[in-house]
Structure 1
Amino acid sequence: MKKRILSGIGMVILVVVCVCVFLLSKAGSTYYYSQIDNSKMEQGKSGGGVVNFSGSLDYSYTLFSYNEKGKGKDITFGASRELKEGAFIRFTVMPIRGVLEWEEVQYDELPAAVQEQYTTPK
């Protein structure tokens, strides 16, 4: 009887550890790409994304974004500053956690299906 209880507890601990590792890793994440449009920004409203050193997000953006195949959806993320108008951005997104991180990228770094959605910068 004691072996069954210990075995059950061991299985529960194993499942919890596996779930935690999955949630903390980037496994299952997808890249999305967008272009900064500051008219879609709200100041002083918290959104998803990386928190700045003071622990707050001063700007919230909701941008229509495309995955590597060109399928689009709205993505909301937070930033500690106003971002450069017209810059291209790549998000790392997980289904449950939302935006894990974002970074500015160049037009030629966008997948072909995403480049088709935007005009070539001069």
Structure 2
Amino acid sequence: MDVMYYLQTFDHFLIYLTVSLLLFVIGTYIFKLLTPYSERAQIKNGNTAVALKLLGKMAGLVVVLQSAVRHSINLVDLIVWAFIAIIIQIVLHLVIEYVLTRNTSLAKEVEGGNVAVGLFLGGVSVLVGLIVAANISF
């Protein structure tokens, strides 16, 4: 076991970990800004639908971030892919909310506790994250 190798690369690990966690927080915060209700208050009050939707968005972002870390050539590359993932998640949300389901307000459904809608939206976010993550390798 080459201990020196691990000691020499530990700084890179810390830098990428810090940047990845920061990107995760930024992405989650942007998602929060786009939500018309307080996710924190809704989850605190036991709204499972909101928790599932938020967890799915966060999981979709993490999937992309892990792929970006694996395939990025530098920190700038990682940051670019992270923001691409955030933008894609936002666009997807807008398409689902306003194009595919024009007659139903999904935000109101989730805020009202519709677990099926919350699970669906969270699941779609994860699936899109998987697709984006797979394409980062090119």
Q: Does TM, scored on the shorter chain, surpass 0.5?
A: no
Structure number having the greater strand percentage: 1
Larger Rg: 1
Structure number having the greater helix percentage: 2
**TM-score normalised over the length of structure 1:** 0.30
Higher RCO (CA 8 Å, separation ≥ 6 residues) = 2
